[in-house]
Amino acid sequence: MISAILNKILKFTISIVIFFIGTSILAVILYKYVEVPFTPLMGIRMIEQVHDGRIPHAYHEWVPLDSMSQYMPVAVIASEDQRFLSHNGFDVEAIERILKKKYEEGGLDAVRHGKMRGGSTITQQTAKNVFLWPTSSRVRKGYEAYFTVLIEAFWSKHRIMEVYLNVIEMGDGIYGTESVANKHFATSAHLLSRDQCAMIAASLPNPLKMDSSKPSNYMYKRQRWIKQQMRHVDLFEKE
**Which pLDDT tens digit goes with each residue over 62-117?**
999 999 999 999 999 999 999 999 999 998 887 667 666 665 555 544 444 445 44
Spatial separation of the C-alpha atoms in residues 79 and 53, rounded to whole Å: 34
The two counts, helices (H) then strands (E), for the chain are: 10, 3
SS3 25: helix
Largest Cα span, the chain: 70
Residues in the chain: 239
What is the pTM for the complete model shown? 0.90
**Predicted confidence (pLDDT) per residue in 125-168, tens digit:** 999 999 998 888 899 999 999 999 999 999 999 999 999 999 99
The sign of the CA dihedral 148, 154, 160, 164 is negative
DSSP for residue 56 = -
Residue pLDDT, tens place only, 186-226: 999 999 999 999 999 999 999 999 999 999 999 999 999 99
The answer to whether 28 touches 155, Cβ cutoff 8 Å, is: yes
